[in-house]
Structure 1
């Protein structure tokens, strides 16, 4: 067990596209679709009869890391869901 100072934290908050193979969460934003089996031209591979479309969602990725080895990653289905936390942690860090 240990403690980490705010100044040691590296905070990253980004948007990422996520291919959702399960049910799409109610708060997720669908931004496109892909196929379960894709051909070289990015279209559906017609060799597979039951080739279903899969939604592509916009998710929020939140990362906390330190030079000493901490590396924690969170993925949230609500776009912008970690914005407040990221802003608060960055505000708590000492100014360089």
Structure 2
């Protein structure tokens, strides 16, 4: 679940062809980096993290996403808005508190 509030800015590291789609890699200073399988909104588009390495993560852009958003046009060095899934962020705290 997203609130629409940008929580961080990231920088595109690469945007490479990957099969019929693209692989977008974003550098970030997120306090809690995402894990593979987590959802992250990049410029308002909800995407699933496919890989994490140090302070960067990668997502797959399927052809539909490339066609309907501007993410396929992003280049290395471009800034992007990031938002993490609110439920994923706070649910573990609620579980351990109960």
Larger relative strand fraction:
2
Q: Please, what TM-score do these two structures have when normalized by structure 2?
A: 0.29
Q: Please, what TM-score do these two structures have when normalized by structure 1?
A: 0.29
Larger relative helix fraction:
2
